[in-house]
Amino acid sequence: MSRSRRAVEASGAAPAPAPSGSAPLVLIVDDYDDNREMYSAYLEFAGLRVAEAVNGNEALSKAEELMPDLIVMDLSLPGIDGWEATRTIKQDPKAKDILVLALTGHALEGASQGAKDAGCDEFLTKPCLPEDLCREIQRMLSAARARPKAKTRR
């Protein structure tokens, strides 16, 4: 068991795991190992399936291969950054309905609108507690399921 997973379980702060079945798949894209590990452990403990990518190129590849329900996209990535990766995903007819949540240290005025202009559905700034990220992911997934013609990928 990973150090982060033990910390999540020991904290008692994680929500109860989701009911069994095909849980939504979340792709965490972040070039910092500690961030990916922490968020992945928390989201898995909350009952979500999680995949990881370390840069924009890998995010594009995994988005196409896995068709996740939601992507948590760091915007500052090596190579293809999160802005460009999001634009590419949203221009792909097969992947355009994947929800993208920007998670970034870009807290400057206008960064949120810039992320939305790039195609991000929502925007959170770092530092972000895992429970806040999980709550926003759950809110976005619930809203998507409630919309007519919403498609979920499993």
pLDDT tens, 43-89?
Answer: 999 999 999 999 999 999 999 999 999 999 999 999 999 999 999 99
**Phi/psi at 24 (nearest 5 deg)?**
-60, 150
| CA dihedral sign of residues 40, 58, 25, 145 | positive
Q: Look up the pTM and report it.
A: 0.82
Which runs of consecutive H residues, i.e. helices, occur in the chain? 3-11, 33-45, 56-66, 82-91, 111-118, 130-146
Report percent pLDDT > 90 for the chain.
69
Quick one: which of 91, 93, 142, 143 has its CA closest to 119?
91
Distance CA 81, CA 59 (A): 10
Both tokens of residue 149? Answer: 């013609």
Distance CA 65, CA 68 (A): 9
Residue 21: pLDDT band by 50, 70, 90 thresholds?
low
Both tokens of residue 46? Answer: 């909350």
Query: What one-character DSSP code corresponds to residue 32?
Result: -
Distance CA 101, CA 83 (A): 11
